[in-house]
Amino acid sequence: MNRGRAESVENLPISERLSLPGFVNAHSHAFQRSLRGRNEGQDFWAWRETMLVEAGRQTPETVRAAYADTYREMHAAGYTAVGEFHYLGLEEAFAAGDAAAEAGIEIVLLYTAYARGGLDRFRQESVAEYLTQLERLRERGIRVGVAPHSVRACPPDWLAELGRYAERETLPLHVHADEQQREVDECLAEHGMTPIELLASAGCLTSRTTVVHATHASAAELDLLADAEARICLCPTTEANLGDGFAPIEQLSERGIGVCIGSDSNVRIDPLEELREIDGTARRTTGKRDAVSLDALLEMGADEGAAALGLEKWPAVEVDLEHPSLRDVAPECVLGALVAGCGADVLV
């Protein structure tokens, strides 16, 4: 079957398509799409050096053009909304919003607070300066979330102030934590507690909080997330590519912690593959084939991501039931086949 996507959509009677909630990409750094296939080898920290060079060369013009391409790639893959975790500066944030509008994807700018480390362009002088920038985005009608980059980048007093602002404004709060063991060790050395414990003590854990990765979270940290009804955003294709490890899926399920997905570095853009990685990891580590239910996986791909971004409505997506990947699949098996055996090209 060799027809183009647009033609196939036009020719399909509605009965040959199945409507689903659109997939939600709750964590993206769109500029990192240009690193796909580059800088293989070594470890996360070596990769980060290359990433910083790429971040350093971005301008509003490059963001506007390259992000529009990346967002089109996301949209074609079935993501109808994206949370862009943005730390390249205010003008580039406006450009990212324009790029999303051009690509026809809903965006929530997870505008990043950065006190120390990284590049000059990432940082603000104070929380007040950060909030002024965030308000400029809100005035422009752009949906935002509060995003302290990490406990590496934001000290406790920043975290506390950002947590209070997010609470007062009922905004989502997203933060990286526990992606690499070194980050955990450094936090313990500096603060005498682990990253998620520090977030809890600073008032940053609520039901509107999403912790990105939590790969190396301890049982005590997972208990804190569950108590606060906070979510975790898993980014399995990126976590695999960077050698981060994988989150303890079964322990998250046992605690009822909400999980959403993100394409993160955009080394791969395919929500079905993210879900299949989560499912595959759970099956491998538990030796069971039902460690995560199909319904739970599909909710991770859509509803949980929307809730993490504070979206009540987001566009739907359709499955091409005539796609070769679904040949000879019975109607009641289509959703299982999506996660087990299809790529994003089955979504139209």
- Active-site residues, by number, are 213, 264
Among the listed residues 254, 199, 251, the one whose alpha carbon sits nearest the alpha carbon of residue 230 = 199
- Residue 62, token pair as written in the block: 């490059």
Per DSSP, which regions of the chain are E strands? 17-21, 23-28, 79-86, 106-113, 144-148, 173-177, 209-213, 231-234, 259-261, 316-320
What is the three-class DSSP state of 88? coil
For residue 42, the 8-state DSSP code is S
For residue 345, the 8-state DSSP code is G
Beta carbons of 178 and 221 less than 8 angstroms apart: yes
Q: Compute the distance between CA of residue 158 and CA of residue 117 in angstroms, rounded to an integer.
A: 14
What is the three-class DSSP state of 334? helix
Helices (H), 12-111: 44-56, 60-76, 90-103
- Residue 286, token pair as written in the block: 């538990």
φ, ψ (nearest 5 deg) of residue 285: -80, -25
Contacts with 120 (C-beta within 8 Å, 6 or more apart), sequence order: none
Q: Compute the distance between CA of residue 264 and CA of residue 245 in angstroms, rounded to an integer.
A: 15
